[in-house]
């Protein structure tokens, strides 16, 4: 179905900067590329609001297509060294926590090259058992296996030994038993012709075997799923007692002078560095971001924070579907011209009967603005949702969303192409939650003509702004993360998208400081400012998220692994961190429901003179937003309400609240400590969105609608409706220089 995809080196770019466009075709020999400005990305012909504008660009034209492979799956690489190639007899060992021992061959520690087979590999074989194989470089491969599957999600010390003098190879697995199980230690030995293992040019690798990709670049295969802790390589044959010492000791070379390498994943957490703590310094790096800051074989539970007990967080969790950087070659570049207005753009790619929009955001020239109003594109949230598989991976997806699974062509392609990676809503193939999401790969759900969620729902707001003739700049979460309040301070008012859910600490601090000074925020969404996440200062374009405790989440977090590796911060809900969204924008999430939306009715506070600007042209009893293309109403999807206990400012005006929510709209998990029989929208009074306004001491203010579906009502009746009018009223007042005055 899909013939063409692409991605860029950046999602946000300023005039004068270079965009690198990377394209892969799938069966098409030629493709066409051009530039469009995306004005409204809703391509449903029944809505009739799709708008794009073709822009002249020097790159427009025909190109030769090619398939660009992706080396998916995480692993570690220790560059080749004489210490590896001159091995005689040796012992290789690691603590492992296999999560899918039955999935087929998986490399644990490999120094291997095929055709003819050289080197050695400690692995899990096709029977799920620990095995070791050696290749002599002449085509002879010898393998020994325990022939008994490893226990899933249980720690084992695994060792492989090769005696070059006697020709004996052995493997040994020693489980750490949990209290009520009795997994047995086992050893297997085989006699082969003595002599050195074949010398190979390959690096030493953890969690995979090497493989040459179709484009001639080094890659990987036969990935290990699970954790590896304290991998070691030692010259000579270690006795059981010596193996135990080398495995348990954090600095094993202090106990055994024959240690060649002792790698420690508790060092350099938050980076791709793999440190060898032995005197040889055989350092390496990880590929595709295995998870770090993970509990090791010796985790006691005394500490939950990897920073406080790094010696107990020495594991890296590898997955065969991890992906950071797809690594595609650049097809062409585009230097953004000085006169290209700030906005949402796309490189439009066409191949045969398929097309694809590679989205990017153009901000004003750095240090300048071109409007008093900024639209803050939720790029961190777009990243969290990137290549979302949940709908077709999770059995409970249909009952969660009260719908029948209906896939897009892009989702059909994702189902068939694991190499495109996952979103933070998904689970890995071993069932563990996905913690990282990258923009350095094709993202199939951040484009025009995709369903109305996250990015494409936000274009409903952009399309409305264009229809209303309201000028705006586009800035992004990544800009806010890097520049903080100084970015926002340049604007009289800031407009959010429909669902600004994920905030890093610098983003949160930047927004809070902006509002505390004189900032004005129009929060046109729902379920905003919810999860603390992190961006890496070491590796661009990657988001980390951990989901401890509760919240609307599609997976649980591994106990004891709630601290983010990129920042060392405790992850989770901003609410649980003592900084609820209600204290920032007046409202916070109360309920979720995707089948039908409700509408608002004015409250008494809407007649307060402080709020009169909001309702100019709105009747006293007028129902607000009982129409729209997202669930049929302006209040839906995920909805927010005030809560003084959570910090809603005391002078907040609740000017309207929603009604008419469905029986499939339920309280959010963090709003209900105990499930009961009156949790849905037809029964529970807390299932509502509150429309709020409050002033700030600096003369600014905050207006919130508390609903994801608000934007879906803007275009109703050719943009002439009360949701549109209220939004326009608020923007007009927020762009007026006249300060808001705090009430007495």
Partner 1 sequence: MHKIDPSRMDLVEEFRNNPDGPYSPELTLVVNRLRLMPMADRHILVCTRRGREWVLAKMPSTRGTKLELIEGQVFDEYSRGVWEVFKRRWQTVTGVDLA
Residues forming the site for partner 1 (CB under 8 A): 1, 43-47, 321, 392-396, 398-399, 402, 404-409, 412, 415-418, 429, 449, 595-596, 662-663
- At residue 413, the 3 state secondary structure works out as helix
| Closer of 428 and 728 to partner 1 (Cβ) | 428
Kind and range of the H or E run holding 701 = strand 701-704
Q: Which is nearer to partner 1, 509 or 663 (CB)?
A: 663
- Minimum CB separation of residue 206 from partner 1 in Å reads 23
In this structure, are strands 502-504 and 531-535 parallel, antiparallel, or unpaired?
Answer: parallel
Q: How far is the CB of 710 from partner 1 (least distance, A)?
A: 22
Nearer to partner 1, 47 or 66 (CB): 47
CB of 256 to partner 1, least distance (A): 43
Distances (CA, A) of 359 to 36, 408, 426, 442, 460: 10, 18, 23, 10, 15
CB of 429 to partner 1, least distance (A): 6
Q: How far is the CB of 380 from partner 1 (least distance, A)?
A: 26
Q: State in angstroms the smallest separation of the CB of 2 from partner 1.
A: 12
Question: CA angle 513-515-518, nearest 5°?
Answer: 105
Pairing relation of β-strands 502-504 and 343-351? unpaired
CA distances to 77, 273, 366, 653, 692 from 282, in Å: 10, 11, 42, 62, 59
DSSP H helices in 279-323: none
Residue 166 or 415 with smaller CB distance to partner 1 = 415
Q: Which is nearer to partner 1, 416 or 616 (CB)?
A: 416
Shortest separation between residue 708's beta carbon and partner 1, angstroms? 20
Least distance CB 353 / partner 1 (angstroms):
11
Count the neighbouring beta carbons within 10 Å of the beta carbon of residue 726. Answer: 27
Question: SS3 for 296?
Answer: coil
DSSP string across 550-608? -SS-SSPPPTT--B-TTT--B-EETTTTT--HHHHHS-EEEEEEEEEEEEEEE-GGGGS
> Residue 257, class by beta-carbon neighbours within 10 Å (0-12 exposed, 13-18 middle, 19+ buried)?
exposed
The backbone torsions φ and ψ at residue 303, rounded to the nearest 5 degrees and listed phi first, read -125, 145
Q: Smallest distance from the beta carbon of 321 to partner 1, in angstroms?
A: 8
Measured from the CB atom, the residue of 406 and 675 that comes closer to partner 1 is 406
Closer of 197 and 452 to partner 1 (Cβ): 452
Q: How many Å apart are CA 473 and CA 363, to the nearest integer?
A: 7
Which lies closer to partner 1 via its Cβ, residue 437 or residue 480?
437
Comparison of 321 and 690: residue with beta carbon closer to partner 1: 321
> Nearest Cα to 547, choosing from 485, 492, 501?
501
- Name which of 46 and 56 has its Cβ closer to partner 1: 46
Task: Give the shortest CB-100-to-partner 1 separation in angstroms.
Answer: 12
Q: If 0-12 CB within 10 Å is exposed, 13-18 middle and 19+ buried, where does residue 619 land?
A: exposed
Query: Which of residues 145 and 445 has its CB atom nearest to partner 1 in the complex?
Result: 445
In whole angstroms, the minimum distance from the beta carbon of 449 to partner 1 comes to: 7
Nearest distance, CB of residue 397 and partner 1, angstroms: 9
Ramachandran category for residue 205: left, alpha or beta (phi over 0 → left; psi -120 to 50 → alpha): beta
CA pair distance 266, 229, nearest whole angstrom: 9
Rounded-to-integer distance, Cα 132 and Cα 99, Å? 19
What is the rounded CA–CA span in Å between residue 290 and residue 228?
Answer: 10
Residues 6+ apart with CB under 8 A from 532: 503, 504, 505, 508, 564, 569, 570, 571, 572, 573, 574, 577
Q: Report strand pairing: 701-704 vs 690-695.
A: antiparallel
Nearer to partner 1, 240 or 407 (CB): 407
Q: Within the chain, what is the greatest distance between any pair of CA atoms?
A: 94
Closer by beta carbon to partner 1, 65 or else 73: 73
Rounded Cα distance between 20 and 369, Å, is 25
Shortest CB 400 distance to partner 1, Å: 9
Distance CA 490, CA 698 (A): 15
């Amino acid at each position: 179905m899909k013939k063409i995809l692409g991605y860029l080196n950046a999602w946000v770019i300023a005039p004068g900067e270079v965009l690198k466009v990377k394209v892969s075709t799938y069966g098409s020999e030629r493709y066409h590329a051009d530039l469009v400005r995306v004005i409204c990305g809703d391509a449903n012909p029944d809505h009739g609001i799709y708008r794009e504008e073709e822009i002249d660009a020097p790159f427009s034209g025909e190109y030769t297509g090619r398939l660009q492979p992706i080396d998916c799956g995480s692993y570690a690489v220790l560059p080749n060294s004489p210490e590896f190639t001159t091995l005689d007899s040796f012992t290789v060992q690691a603590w492992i926590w296999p999560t899918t021992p039955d999935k087929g061959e998986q490399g644990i520690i490999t120094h291997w090259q095929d055709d003819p087979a050289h080197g050695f590999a400690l692995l899990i074989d096709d029977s799920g058992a620990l095995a070791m194989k050696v290749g002599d470089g002449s085509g002879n491969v010898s393998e020994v296996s325990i022939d008994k599957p490893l226990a899933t999600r249980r720690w084992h010390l695994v060792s492989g030994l090769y005696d070059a003098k006697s020709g004996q190879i052995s493997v040994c697995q020693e489980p750490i038993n949990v209290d009520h199980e009795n997994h047995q230690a086992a050893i297997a030995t085989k006699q082969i012709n003595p002599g050195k293992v074949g010398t190979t040019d390959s690096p030493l690798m953890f969690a995979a075997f090497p493989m040459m990709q179709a484009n001639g670049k080094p890659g990987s295969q036969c990935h290990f799923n699970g954790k590896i802790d304290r991998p070691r390589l030692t010259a000579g044959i270690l006795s059981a007692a010596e193996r135990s010492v080398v495995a348990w000791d954090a600095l094993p070379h202090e106990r055994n002078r024959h240690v060649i390498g002792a790698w420690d994943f508790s060092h350099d957490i938050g980076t791709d560095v793999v440190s060898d703590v032995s005197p040889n310094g055989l350092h390496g790096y990880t590929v595709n971001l295995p998870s770090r800051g993970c509990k090791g074989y010796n985790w006691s539970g005394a500490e939950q924070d990897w920073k406080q007990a790094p010696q107990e967080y020495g594991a890296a969790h590898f997955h065969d579907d991890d992906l950071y950087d797809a690594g595609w070659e650049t097809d062409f570049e585009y230097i953004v011209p000085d006169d290209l207005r700030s906005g949402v753009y796309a490189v439009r790619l066409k191949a045969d009967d398929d097309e694809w929009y590679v989205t990017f955001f153009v901000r004003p020239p750095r240090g300048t603005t071109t409007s008093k109003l900024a639209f803050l594109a939720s790029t961190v949230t777009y990243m969290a949702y990137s290549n979302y598989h949940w709908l077709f991976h999770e059995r409970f997806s249909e009952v969660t969303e009260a719908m029948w699974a209906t896939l897009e062509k892009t989702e059909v392609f994702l189902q068939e192409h694991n190499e495109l990676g996952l979103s933070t809503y998904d689970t890995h193939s071993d069932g563990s939650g996905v913690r990282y999401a990258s923009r350095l790969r094709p993202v199939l759900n951040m484009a025009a003509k995709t369903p109305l969620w996250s990015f494409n729902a936000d274009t409903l707001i952009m399309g409305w702004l264009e229809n209303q003739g309201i000028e705006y700049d586009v800035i992004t979460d990544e800009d806010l993360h890097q520049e903080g309040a100084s970015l926002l301070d340049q604007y009289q008012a800031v407009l959010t998208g429909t669902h600004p859910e994920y905030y890093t600490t610098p983003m949160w601090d930047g927004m809070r400081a902006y509002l505390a000074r004189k900032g004005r925020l129009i929060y046109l969404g729902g379920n905003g400012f919810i999860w603390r996440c992190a961006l890496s200062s070491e590796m661009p374009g990657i988001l980390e998220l951990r989901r401890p405790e509760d919240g609307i989440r599609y997976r649980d977090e591994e106990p004891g692994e709630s601290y983010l590796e990129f920042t060392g911060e405790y992850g989770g809900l901003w609410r649980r961190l003592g900084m609820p969204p209600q204290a920032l924008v007046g409202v916070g999430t109360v309920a979720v429901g995707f089948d039908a939306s409700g509408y608002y009715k004015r409250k008494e506070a809407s007649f307060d003179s402080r709020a009169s600007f909001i309702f100019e042209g709105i009747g006293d009893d007028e129902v607000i937003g009982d129409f729209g293309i997202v669930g049929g109403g302006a209040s839906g999807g995920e909805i927010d309400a005030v809560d003084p206990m959570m910090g809603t400012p005391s002078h907040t005006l609740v000017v309207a609240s929603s009604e008419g929510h469905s029986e499939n709209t339920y309280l959010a998990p963090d709003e209900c400590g105990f499930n009961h029989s009156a949790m849905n929208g037809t029964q529970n009074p807390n299932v509502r969105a509150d429309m709020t306004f409050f002033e700030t001491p600096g003369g600014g203010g905050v207006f919130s609608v508390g609903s994801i579906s608000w934007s879906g009502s803007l275009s109703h009746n050719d943009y002439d409706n009360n949701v549109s009018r209220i939004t326009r009223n608020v923007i007009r007042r927020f762009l007026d220089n006249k300060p808001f005055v705090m009430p007495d």
